[in-house]
Amino acid sequence: MTYFLKPPCVNGILCPKTNMRRIYLDKRVWRNSRDNWVSFESDPKLGVTKSNIYGRCVPCITNLYQQLQEGKEEIELKEAYQCWKVVAVLKDKEECLELLREYEENFLGNHYVKGKFGSSLPTKPTKVLMFHIENEEERDRILKELQTCVEKVNPQAKVFYQRACANLYYDLLGDWKDWKEVTRIKNPEVRPMLLERIKKLLYWEKENP
């Protein structure tokens, strides 16, 4: 099911059409965190989110897997080098929704956005909200806008940006701030572990036992 953050209205009357973009929400299923994430996008069908899974994310992770298998000493990051996320660490799901409402009302305009909120572990006391971004100019704009919005929702919340796949590449390449488009492997001993992690991430463990 896809739905608005809140219905478009004027003076409390629902409007059948609006020229402004909206933010739509949908439950998504993620590896090892079923139903713990909710995706959002400016498209009610979440078209970019869905197409990016197999059009961008899977090819990117497959590229890493192939380079690791080939024993490369340097990793060509390709899409991963231009893939960003702007993150807000919040108290709970309600704060995530409130932050999205603030953003929609004050900054969305005609911009197109996409991202998700939730947690990989349902027992974690905090939730994260992240916008997925593919260029630095948009990254810097959304960072400033979220910093403004979070002041109204939770002034103690942390807002920052990092490369979207920093967690996947960290053990292999180190701090994402030091990455280049072609980055030398810092910790080659993690290669076997990372190959197994990618196989599980992409559901390859049954195909490649």
* pTM of the complete model: 0.83
Q: 93 in helix, strand or coil?
A: helix
Reported as a single tens digit per residue, the pLDDT across 56-74 is: 999 999 999 999 999 999 9
Q: Check whether 112 has a pLDDT greater than 50.
A: yes
Whether pLDDT at 204 is above 80: no
Of the pLDDT bands very low, low, confident and very high (cuts 50, 70, 90), residue 94 is: very high
Q: Which two tokens stand for residue 76?
A: 């060509």
Q: Which residues contact 125 (CB under 8 A, 6 or more apart)?
A: none
Mean pLDDT, the chain, rounded, equals 86
- The answer to whether the beta carbons of residues 75 and 170 sit under 8 Å apart is no
Average pLDDT, integer, range 63-87: 96
The confidence band for 42, taking pLDDT boundaries of 50, 70 and 90, is: very high
Q: Is residue 27 very low, low, confident or very high in pLDDT (cuts 50, 70, 90)?
A: low
Q: Evaluate if residue 32 carries a pLDDT over 70.
A: no
> CB within 8 A of 64, min separation 6: which ones?
75, 80, 168, 169, 194, 198
Please tell me the CATH code under which domain 3-8+17-43+73-201 is placed. 3.30.760
Q: pLDDT tens digit string along 146-187?
A: 999 999 999 999 999 999 999 999 999 999 999 999 999 999
Compute the average pLDDT of residues 90-113: 94
Residue the block writes with tokens 């439950």: 27
Assess whether pLDDT exceeds 50 at residue 21. Answer: yes
The confidence score (pLDDT) of residue 57 equals 92
